[in-house]
């Protein structure tokens, strides 16, 4: 069927596919921004925008992500479709042990990559990485910072990118092309060049795992694992003297990276048979 499409038909079908796929992404981008704006105007107009973002940005961002999921759930229900099938989100098919291994694999991989980027002395990569990492945790609401980074954002992003968007693209494109399209869109949403490269590699793996396992829950645990080391490092640095104790020496950072790499290799053998 696809081989019989004319060039005009392909452009029309591809355009419709991209427009359908961008809908959930647009909602995911706009809803947290709307919650932030309403919270600022209605509840804290006396603050500057920067003060408000520092004060409650993570709370309103988490609220926006949760509302996005509810809106998408209502959308599927209004079309007499299953939200779980639309997103390939199957709790009853999840192997808890495998999910835990994906969590630890993601954390180990992130630990190894973070150590490498922190120790890179050239091109200002270390400074850029450290500065970008700090901007992720500039709020005072510690609970919602952790919740957003480890639970809410990974769940919402898996539902949006590897759930709705990937399934929509798979209706038109083959598996490999769909994985690349979704991963490129996911990467571009991260803005800075370093984060785009990091997110592209992570997105390709997340999409491949979701297709391979036919369940985005494994991608959610993998995604949470990717985010977990940055949260733990931030929490450790929040206490006086802890940061210098655990991360004051480049040899310590290198040791953490080596441990992460070894664990990553061991878990990859169990999960992927390599």
Q: Domain boundaries in the chain?
A: 81-272
User: Mean pLDDT throughout 126-150?
Assistant: 62
Gap between the Cα atoms of 44 and 14, Å rounded: 44
Residue with tokens 């919740």: 147
CA dist list (Å): 83 to 19, 25, 87, 161: 19, 16, 6, 14
User: Mean pLDDT throughout 219-225?
Assistant: 96
% pLDDT > 70, the chain: 86
Higher pLDDT, 41 or 224: 224
Range of weakest confidence among 109-113, 134-138, 234-238, 239-243 = 134-138
pLDDT of residue 11: 87
Range of weakest confidence among 173-177, 195-199, 235-239 = 235-239
Cβ neighbours around 47 below 10 Å, total? 14
pLDDT of residue 204: 97
Answer yes or no: are the C-beta atoms of 228 and 107 closer than 8 Å.
yes
User: Mean pLDDT throughout 150-170?
Assistant: 95
Gap between the Cα atoms of 250 and 119, Å rounded: 7
- The pLDDT tens digits for 93-133 are 999 999 999 999 999 999 999 888 877 764 444 444 445 45
pLDDT of residue 44: 81
Given a cut of 70, whether residue 9 has pLDDT beyond it is: yes
User: Mean pLDDT throughout 151-177?
Assistant: 95
Gap between the Cα atoms of 228 and 207, Å rounded: 19
Answer yes or no: are the C-beta atoms of 162 and 179 closer than 8 Å.
no
Gap between the Cα atoms of 175 and 204, Å rounded: 12
Gap between the Cα atoms of 129 and 123, Å rounded: 11
């Amino acid at each position: 069927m696809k081989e019989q499409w004319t060039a005009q038909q392909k452009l029309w079908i591809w355009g419709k596919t991209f427009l359908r796929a961008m809908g959930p992404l647009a909602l995911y981008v706009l809803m947290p921004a709307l919650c932030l704006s309403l919270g600022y105007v209605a509840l804290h107009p006396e603050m500057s925008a920067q003060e408000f973002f520092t004060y409650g940005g993570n709370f309103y961002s988490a609220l926006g992500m949760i509302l996005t999921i509810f809106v998408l759930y209502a959308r599927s229900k209004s079309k007499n479709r299953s939200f779980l099938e639309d997103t390939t989100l199957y709790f009853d098919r999840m192997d808890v042990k495998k999910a835990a291994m994906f969590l630890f694999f993601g954390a180990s991989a992130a630990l190894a990559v973070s150590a490498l980027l922190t120790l890179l002395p050239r091109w200002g990569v270390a400074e850029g990485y450290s500065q970008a990492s700090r901007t992720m945790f500039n709020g005072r609401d510690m609970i919602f910072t952790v919740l957003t980074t480890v639970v809410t954002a990974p769940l919402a992003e898996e539902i949006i990118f590897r759930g709705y968007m990937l399934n929509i693209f798979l209706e038109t494109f083959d598996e490999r092309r769909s994985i690349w399209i979704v991963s490129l869109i996911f990467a571009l949403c991260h803005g800075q060049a370093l984060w785009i490269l990091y997110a592209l590699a992570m997105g390709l793996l997340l999409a491949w795992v979701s297709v391979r396992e036919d369940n985005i829950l494994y991608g959610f645990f993998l995604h949470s694992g990717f985010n977990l080391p940055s949260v733990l490092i931030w929490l450790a640095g929040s206490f006086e003297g802890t940061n210098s104790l655990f991360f004051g020496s480049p040899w310590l950072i290198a040791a953490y990276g080596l441990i992460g790499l070894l664990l990553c290799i061991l878990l990859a053998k169990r999960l992927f048979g390599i």
